Structures are given as C-alpha cells and as structure tokens.
Amino acid sequence: MIRVLFFARLRETLDCQELDLDFSGTVTELKADLAKRGEVWHQAFHAEEVLVAINQVMSKNDECVKAGDEVAFFPPVTGG
Amino acid sequence: MIRVLFFARLRETLDCQELDLDFSGTVTELKADLAKRGEVWHQAFHAEEVLVAINQVMSKNDECVKAGDEVAFFPPVTGG
Amino acid sequence: MDTILVQTQAFNAGELTNRLASATTAHGALVTFTGLVRDQTSDPVESLFLEHYPGMTDSALNDIVAQAKTRWPLGPVTLVHRVGLLYPGESIVFVGVTSAHRAEAFQACEFLIDYLKVKAPFWKKETTPSGQRWVATRSSDNAAAERW
Amino acid sequence: MDTILVQTQAFNAGELTNRLASATTAHGALVTFTGLVRDQTSDPVESLFLEHYPGMTDSALNDIVAQAKTRWPLGPVTLVHRVGLLYPGESIVFVGVTSAHRAEAFQACEFLIDYLKVKAPFWKKETTPSGQRWVATRSSDNAAAERW
C-alpha cells in the first residue's frame, strides 16, 4: 500500500485529500492510474502543472514509488 | 575668507581642526598652499588619499573655492 | 543556534531581529526580510489562508537553510513562516541572516527567500470581495530561484 | 514618511523594523540591514568611536536615500547611524527599506549601505588592547559602491 496526498487547489478540484492504494511503479505511471478515476482527475493531471513529493522530498516523474511510501501531489507552491 | 575643516586621522595628523584663510582658486591650488605649512602638512597632502567637500558636498580637485565657502578635507570615509 | 519555525501564531519581526543581533558579537552584518500581507487597491485582500504540507515544511526549510550554510559563511539564521489565517498588514514570513560581512548576509537572505518561494510546500488562498482564489505562481519567482 | 537620523543614543533595530512593517500595508516586502560592532578575536575591539562631519552627514544621507528612490519604487525608508562611543555588540547603522516586491527591496537596501559606506562622512576609530587605530578603508567597499 502507498498513501497518496493532495494539497491546495488540487485537493479542492479532486475533492480528495488522501487515498490508500496498492501500487508500485514510477510517478508517471501513478499519475496515469489516477487520471483514470474520472474526468476531473484526467483534467487535473493533464491540463495543469502538478508537483510531486515522495516521502516529503520534492521528486521527479521518473522516480519509483514502492510500498509504504507517502506520495504527495500539489500545485506549484506560493508561500513566502 | 574661507573656512577650512579637517576630520578624523587627518585632523589628528595636522593637529588642526579648523582654519580661516584668505583664498580663492581651485581645490588643487588650496592643497598646494596648505602643503607649504610644514613637513607634516606636506606629507599629509602628498602621501595619503585626501577627500574634499565644498559646502558639505563631496567635490573634486578641479573645482573652485570662493569667499564664504566651507572646505573640508578628510580621509576616505569608514562609516556604516 | 538557528531558529526554524512554522506556526499559526503571529510573530514579531522586530523581536526576531533583536534576538539575532544579540545572538552573536562575532558577526557584524544582519540582514532580514519580512514578507507582509499586502492590501491591494484593485481587488482588496480581506484575508489570506496559508495551507501547508505539515510533514514536509520543516524538512524543506531545514534543507534550504543547510544549503545556504554550505554556500556562505553564516552565523545564526532565523526562518519563521506562518500558516493558517492572516490579515492585511500581518507578517507571513521572516528570514534573518548574520554574517561577518554584509555582501554574504544579503546574498544568503535573498537566496533563502527565493528558494523558499519555489521549494517549500506552502500555498496561499486569498479572500476578496469577489470571492476566494488560489494565488498563482509568479514566473519571476522561478527566475529568481534559478539565479542561484 | 522616511526616517533619517544621526544620533549618539543607541537605537533599537527591532523597533525600527516593526515601525516600518506597520507604516504601510501597500508594500509587502521589508528588507533591513543592521551593522554591529564586531568583537574580533585576534585584537579584540574594546570600543569604537565614530566621528562625523555634522553639517554634512544629514545632507549626505538624505541625498543617498533620494537616489535610491529615483532608482526603485520604494515605500517608507529608515536610515539611522550612530556617532560617538560604541561597544561590541551595539548597532552602528540600520537601513530599512519597503517595496511592493522583494527584489527591489533587497537591491535598494544594499545600495543604501554600499553608498553610505563610501559617501557619508563617518570615520571609525577602534580602541584595542594594543592601542587606538583608525579603521582603514576596505577596497571591497569601493568595489561594492561602484557596482550600482
């Protein structure tokens, strides 16, 4: 199982804060899986810039996700 | 008459804070006159960098000094 | 020696400044940056909500400070970021850097806020008379971070 | 709106910071520089005497602030410089700048202190265990001022 988190506008768009999934593969593959969950999900992962952190570290699309990981998706950050 | 002021290390070297002089001419000419006041004065105006302000504005050696002016000589500044 | 905080409570930028000034007599230069909620005149911001990714913000801020310390010889550093609900005039973020010389202190302070703006997981949502809106990324922020 | 002071009394950098932060809600970026008397370990500074040219310092500082304001769109600016006798850990100078955006605030703050360092008539004399000495100009200060 992996835990998937969503933040900010993305969380609102998907109306989803958190998912537990059976998954292993790259971030790109995970995004493709998530995009199949419905039109809103498809749009969110294709039309907008989505950043990813694996285990709370900024990561890239070609990195691998394995059981036990926490994967977070979010829009570009706007703090400071 | 002009008023001539000296600051910081230069004031200490010359042991002089202030002079009233009859002078008109350029800053370069004023420095040459002052350098004639003794060995210490000669050294001070030839061996070290001396800045000048006319009427409290940073000025250059080729600028003219006229009656009523306040001319200040001092070492490079070290505030801040 | 460094202070790195993410908090909902308001902070006092002046107090943080004075604490850094008295934290060291070996470092003669202190540069601070304070980011405040602006009250824009066109579509006035009534309030700002700062969302964050709690597990990640601390480590992201610690990592950014660690990077600054490998680049410049720094004394104590303070980085405080607020989350939750804020109003115009309130401080969002404080970055304070000490160093022996001012050029390094200025560079490190600007580096820290530039990096924080693109690498730390905070998101701003504004409430205005015309509704709520997520603040958009500014391309100038990406450019600023890429300079370093 | 601007505060430009030359004074023998100690100032409180934190208070000056907070005053600027609350002086405007239109400017979201506040950058401050505080220069402190350092306590060097090799030949420790016991005290510092800051001499100045009273008639000229005010106009020199006003002129430097006016130049900064023609270069960048700034909100309120504070510039305070101490003169007289100071001890390690005390603040010598404070420069605080507000602007709508941080890049401008950083640039203007660094410009102000760089220009002050070479254009304002202040001179430092240190007292150390080995005696008194006038502080020498650093060539890096001239280089810093010439960048602008």
- In order of their start, the domains of chain D are 3-142 (3.90.1170.40)
**Domains in chain A, CATH or no CATH each:** 2-74 (3.10.20.30)
- Establish, for the pair of chains C and D, how many residue pairs have beta carbons separated by less than 8 Å: 124
- Identify residue D147 by its one-letter amino acid code: R
pTM for the whole structure? 0.95
C neighbours by CB contacts (3+ pairs under 8 Å): A, D
Tokens linked to C34: 């304070």
Does an H or E element contain B72, and which?
Answer: strand B70-74
Q: Digits of tens for pLDDT over chain D (148 positions)?
A: 899 999 999 999 999 999 999 987 788 999 999 999 987 767 788 999 999 999 899 999 999 999 999 999 999 999 999 999 999 999 999 999 999 999 999 999 999 999 999 999 999 999 999 999 999 888 899 999 999 9
Q: CB of D48 within 8 Å of any CB in chain B?
A: no
Residue D35 contacts residue D13 (beta carbons within 8 Å): no
Residue D128, Cβ density class (10 Å: 0-12 exposed, 13-18 middle, ≥19 buried)? middle
Look at residue A49 and tell me whether its pLDDT is greater than 70.
yes
Tokens linked to A65: 């996700």
Look at residue B3 and tell me whether its pLDDT is greater than 70.
yes
In D8-90 the beta strands, taken as DSSP E runs, fall at: 29-36, 47-52, 74-82, 84-86
In this predicted model, what pLDDT tens digit does every residue of B28-76 receive, in sequence order? 999 999 999 999 999 999 888 999 999 999 999 999 999 999 999 999 9
Largest CA distance in chain B: 35
A 10 A CB-CB count for C63 gives 15
Whether residues B78 and D53 touch (CB distance < 8 A) is answered with no
Whether residues C53 and A79 touch (CB distance < 8 A) is answered with no
